[in-house]
Amino acid sequence: MARFFRRGKSQVVFAPTVASITAPTVGNITGGTNLSGSVNDIAGFSFANQPIETPDLASPFTSKIPGSDQADDCTINYYLDSVTNPLHTTLAKDTIGYIILADYKILGTWASGDRVDVWPVQVGSNAKQYSVGDDPALSQVTFTVTGTPALNTTVA
């Protein structure tokens, strides 16, 4: 596949439940809330190992072994609406669910075989962002990752 620009090609969905984190269904995704048209910025949602240093007296080199796996802090900024803000309710503090990220999924019908990353999350906060500059009205949702994400998994 050729390189691509995420805007207009990637999608973000919040699903309250999934049948299986390693095989979410089309119904799980379409039954969730597609955030893509409201997302102003997204950060985190990366998963990495935290290596442990293992120095010893036999060598001046400090070797490492794999340590615990951790997810970075995760946030999504979304646009506020001047009339109603359903995402403020959908993504209320302490809400538990799944963020489903599709790298290359142009808006359209979800299908079995689509590839997604599934992140089990809990909303830590949903805070309006105030500014007096030439900025759109935004809210920032901070997520805690509550379990191991399923990366590059197939939609059932």
Q: What is the average pLDDT across 132-137?
A: 92
- What pLDDT score was predicted for residue 67? 95
- Tell the burial category of 52 from Cβ atoms under 10 Å away from its Cβ (0-12, 13-18, 19+): exposed
Tell me: pLDDT of 15 over 80. Answer: yes
Q: Is the pTM of this model over 0.75?
A: yes
- What pLDDT score was predicted for residue 105? 75
Q: Of 39-43, 57-61, 85-89, which range is least confident?
A: 85-89
Domain covering 11-154, topology: Pnp Oxidase; Chain A (2.30.110)
> What confidence tier does 62 reach under pLDDT thresholds 50, 70, 90?
very high
Domain ranges of the chain: 11-154
- What pLDDT score was predicted for residue 1? 59
Contact 138, 126 (CB under 8 A): no
Q: What is the average pLDDT across 82-89?
A: 86
Tell me: pLDDT of 6 over 80. Answer: no
Length of the chain equals 156
User: In the chain, what percentage of residues exceed pLDDT 70?
Assistant: 96
Q: Residue by residue, what is the 3-state secondary structure of the chain?
A: CCCCCCCCCCEEEEECCCCCCCCCCHHHHHCCEECHHHEEEEECCCEEECCEEECCCCCCCCEEECCCEEECCEEEEEECCCCCCHHHHHCCCCCEEEEEEECCCCCCCCCCCCEEEEEEEEEEEEEEECCCCCCCCEEEEEEEECCCCEEEEECC
- What pLDDT score was predicted for residue 106? 67
> What confidence tier does 73 reach under pLDDT thresholds 50, 70, 90?
confident
User: Cα(4)–Cα(13) distance, rounded to whole angstroms?
Assistant: 20
